[in-house]
Amino acid sequence: MGGALNRQITVIQILAQHINADHFSRFIWFVCTIGAIGLFMWLFAIRLHLLVKEHPKTVNVEVTYGDKLPFPSVTICNQNFFR
């Protein structure tokens, strides 16, 4: 039993060393990463579309213009004494 476990660990270590030295593995990781990001964006867009579609919004806006508006009170205080 112990020999099979040691053999598996050795095979995994050999494969890991072989894959790390290979440019093909970098390409595979790049493709997997870009694919995962693309899948996430696609699922996020679908989820967002369904969320907006399920909850429609109705907004009524009425704009009124006044003839004269009061001047706003603005105070600037920087806590420094005049010299």
pLDDT value at position 83? 59
Tokens of 9: 């660990």
Q: Where are the domains of the chain?
A: 2-54
- What DSSP string runs through 44-63? HHHHHHHHHHHS--------
Please work out, in degrees rounded to the nearest 5, the angle formed at the alpha carbon of residue 50 by the alpha carbons of 45 and 52: 95
- Please tell me the pTM assigned to this model: 0.42
Residue 8 scores a pLDDT above 80? no
pLDDT band at 26 (very low <50, low <70, confident <90, very high): confident
Residue 22 pLDDT > 80: no
Q: What is the pLDDT of residues 31-71, one digit of tens each?
A: 899 999 999 999 999 999 988 888 777 888 888 887 887 77
